[in-house]
Amino acid sequence: MKKAFYSLATFFAAVPAFAMEETTSGGGYIAMAAGITIGVAALGGALGQGKVGSSAMEGIARNPQAQKEMFVPMIIGLALIESLVIYALVIAFQLVGKL
């Protein structure tokens, strides 16, 4: 049931992109590409950050004395994941700038 709802919500959210006037530069496709770029990046970043946080909490729960050794690599991993999402946001802005 939830999959059907999300599919319909995604379809109806994309309707304005299909309603754009057709241009020779393919503006509608560029707008959809920008939206898909940031959507996939946010999804992948969220999944990656969830996995990093889950693994860190599991490791700390198994060995509480290792918290100090796990904290810095965890923060570096989260920062690198977030930088990839920001990079995708920059790409989406560049795509929208081509309209």
> Does residue 90 sit within a domain?
yes
pTM above 0.75, yes or no: no
Q: What is the CATH number of the domain that holds 80?
A: 1.20.20.10
**How many independent structural domains does the chain possess?**
1
Q: Is residue 17 part of a domain?
A: no
Yes or no: say if 80 and 72 are a contact pair by the CB < 8 Å rule.
Answer: no
Q: Does residue 11 lie within any of the structural domains?
A: no
In a domain, 21, yes or no: no
Q: Is 18 a domain residue?
A: no
Continuous H helices in the chain: 2-18, 27-62, 67-97
In a domain, 55, yes or no: yes
The tens digit of pLDDT for each residue in 3-43 reads: 677 776 776 666 666 665 665 566 778 888 888 888 899 99
Domain extent, residue 78, equals 26-97
Contact 77, 52 (CB under 8 A): yes
Distance CA 82, CA 31 (A): 23
> Does residue 15 sit within a domain?
no
pLDDT per residue as tens digits for the range 44-84 = 999 999 999 999 999 999 999 989 999 999 999 999 999 99
